[in-house]
Structure 1
Amino acid sequence: MLFQRAYAKINLTLDVLGRRGDGYHEVDMVMQTVDLSDVLWLEPRDDGEITMDSTSSSVPVDERNLCVQAAHAFRRRTGFRGGVHIQLDKHIPVAAGLAGGSSDAAAVLRGLNQMSGAGLTLDELAELGAEIGSDVPYCVYGGLAIARGRGERVTRYPHVPAMYAVLLHPRIFVSTADVYKGLSPSDFTDAPRSETMVQALAEGQLERVAEIVHNALERVTMSLYPELKALKERVASIAQRPVHMSGSGPTLYVLTPVQTHAQRLYNALRGIMKDVYVCRFVGGYAEAHARS
């Protein structure tokens, strides 16, 4: 049985450059993995079948699941015919803007690559991941990266800033499709903030990072879900620091370079909602393997 960890991500920047001819939007965003993670076990099957179980009833375990799709895509690409049972221990909130499903799919690709001995590089796995979902290529790598295009063009950076994120996941369902549909040309930019963000992180200007964070989707999400806007304002009054949104939402987060401050904020926010997490920034999977 093979163990894989699938980390959540947050968007430190998310700029939309415009609408593409294929119906997607052109994005330019900085993403960072945090140590909130799902755990997967991959067990070989002798009958060649691909099966799956999950600890979360909110997660489908059939062909709709990106993990199952990833296993099929891997077999098509490599010719591997072995079966696998995927056991998912779910900790990342579902439909939260944290790329939990994409990270799980990326973990399956990495795991099957190891199990089968196919020997694909991370770059080749990321290319394969682009067939499954826009965030999967980034999730194959993890760590700090800029993702461009519809998210599939990934530039990685080795920095692991000593930063903490306090995440809040309200029980609000956000339709990503509706959020992107609500964008107007005034939300688009030709001056993305990604390079400025990466430079601030590389130079250790951690207090400046929170000032650079930007999410072009936030205006639309907050207008569609006023209860989320009200929660953000309440959290800001408690935290006395900027409050940000990851992806299309609804997860909100507060950044701090000080662990004790993150813990105090966690304690305060637990008084107003259940799903609060203290996370630290973590490096990518390639760096983790190099250390092991």
Structure 2
Amino acid sequence: MEKTERRAYAKINLGLDVLRRRENGYHDVKMVMQTVGIYDELTFEKIKEGIIVTTDKEELPTDKGNLIYRAAELLTEKYQIREGIRISLKKNIPIAAGMAGGSTDAAAVFHGMNTLFNLHMDEKTMREEGVKIGADVPYCIMGGTALSEGIGEVLTALPAPPKAVLCIAKPDINVSTKFVYENLHIETVKDHPDIDGMVQAIREGDLRGITDRMANVLETVTVKEYPIIQEIKKKMLESGAENALMSGSGPTVFGVFTEEAGASEAMERIRKEKLAQQVFVTEFVNM
């Protein structure tokens, strides 16, 4: 095989709690992660030597500043791959959005190079290597619905949630994950998400039980800094969302709807009021 293609799906956090800050600066988290139907497209081609990354977005780096490059470099060195690789990225997931866009692209590299070079990695091996690239990479390698603990690398697969329609909106701002975590004073947070309750609701197939427990402690930092996030949440709720939440460290907001009409109405209202131009109607995706 000389060429292969791979989709890299975005994620949202149905619930996100931060438990404590480690001495090394990482945070212990407890989250419910969910793949959604927005994806980047990656093409992998063998070349004589080296690693070449190309993208259709000028603002993205194509060197070691890109997780795609770093994942390819890691695998090339670990498996002593003598040939080179060209990786072409078509970017559809919003950038710096709290949707693991970079991590899911890196995860696709593990899958793509595993196929292209017959590396015979199982998922456990890919996840163990993936965490060296980033905390979200092991989940993105796995995909679907999962409870995520530790720094994000301790994963428990969960059943798919009930069918729902999502409106996802990324306002025209970029949020630094580093800034959000540095300004999160977890000892002052009084309300923590009921992650265990949400996991139980997922196991029971109870959509309302899931949406009633949607919460994200990082909103305490990001919403205060960027009030537009709260405005988008409000529009989604007014359009009939069961609930709406910021994903990850933001600024992307998603609303969970039982009917496509409500999600489409929210998308139109958000665009019309110029709260966000990158707005999608999609659904949960389970691998």
What is the TM-score when the length of structure 2 is the normalising length?
0.92
Given that 2:239 and 2:265 are in contact with CA atoms closer than 8 Å, whether structure 1 keeps it comes out as no
* Number of residue pairs matched by the alignment: 282
SS in 2 for 1:22: coil
**In structure 1, the residue corresponding to 2:166 is in which secondary structure?**
strand
Q: Tell me: CA distance 1:240–1:256, structure 2 relative to 1, closer, same or farther (3 Å).
A: closer
Give distance in 2, aligned partners of 1:153 and 1:82: 33
The whole-number CA distance in structure 1 between the counterparts of 2:261 and 2:247 is 23
> What CA distance in whole angstroms lies between the structure 1 residues aligned with 2:229 and 2:199?
28
Query: 3-state SS of the aligned residue for 1:10?
Result: strand
Give the structure 2 partner of residue 51 of structure 1: 52
Q: 1:39 aligns with which of 41, 49, 60?
A: 41
Q: Distance in 2 between matches of 1:119 and 1:206?
A: 38
Which residue in the other structure is 2:119 paired with?
118
Alignment map for 1:97-176 (pairs within 5 Å): 97-176=98-177
Is 2:167–2:256's contact at 8 Å kept on the other side of the alignment? yes
Kindly state the Cα deviation for residue 177 of structure 1 after the two structures are TM-superposed.
Answer: 1.1
Distance, in Å, in 2 between the alignment partners of 1:123 and 1:217 is 29
User: Which residue in 2 is equivalent to 1:226?
Assistant: 227
Assess, with a 3 A threshold, how the Cα gap between structure 1 residues 281 and 115 changes in structure 2: closer, same or farther: same
Counterpart among 4, 8, 11 of residue 9 in structure 1 = 11
Match of 1:275 in 2: 278
Distance in 1, matches of 2:244 and 2:168, equals: 10
230-239 vs 200-209, greater mean Cα deviation: 230-239
Aligned letter for 2:272? Answer: G
Q: 1:222 to 1:192 in 2, by over 3 A?
A: closer
User: Which runs of 5 or more structure 1 residues have no equivalent in the other structure?
Assistant: 285-292
Runs of 4+ in structure 1 deviating by more than 4 angstroms, as ranges, are: 238-241
Identity %: 39
* Structure 1 residue 265: Cα displacement: 2.9
Deviates more, 1:171-180 or 1:93-102: 171-180
Matched, 1:209 2:213: no
1:187 to 2:189 alignment: yes
- Secondary structure in 2 aligned to 1:4? strand
Q: Is the 8 A contact 2:235 2:266 kept in 1?
A: no
What does 1:59-70 correspond to in 2, within 5 Å?
59-70=60-71
Greater mean alpha carbon deviation, residues 163-172 or residues 77-86? 77-86
Q: Which amino acid aligns with 1:155?
A: T
Residue 135 to residue 168, structure 1, CA distance change in 2 (3 Å) = same
Kept in 2, the 8 Å contact 1:179–1:248? The answer is: yes
1:243 counterpart SS class:
strand
Query: Hey, what's the Cα distance between the residues in 2 that align with 1:219 and 1:30?
Result: 18
Matched residues in 2 for 1:158 and 1:201: separation?
Answer: 7
SS of residue paired to 1:173: coil
- Contact residue 165 and residue 283 of structure 2 kept, 8 A: yes
TM-score of the pair, normalised by structure 1: 0.91
Gaps of 5+ in 2: none
Q: 1:229 to 1:266 in 2, by over 3 A?
A: closer
Check 1:192–1:207 CA distance in 2 against 1; reply closer, same or farther (3 A cut): closer
Deviations 1:76-121 (A, max 9, x none): 2222222110000000000000001100000011100111111000
The alignment yields a C-alpha RMSD, in angstroms, of 1.8
**CA distance in structure 2 between the partners assigned to 1:90 and 1:161 by the alignment:** 28
Please give the alpha-carbon distance, in whole angstroms, between the structure 2 residues aligned to 1:240 and 1:194.
Answer: 20
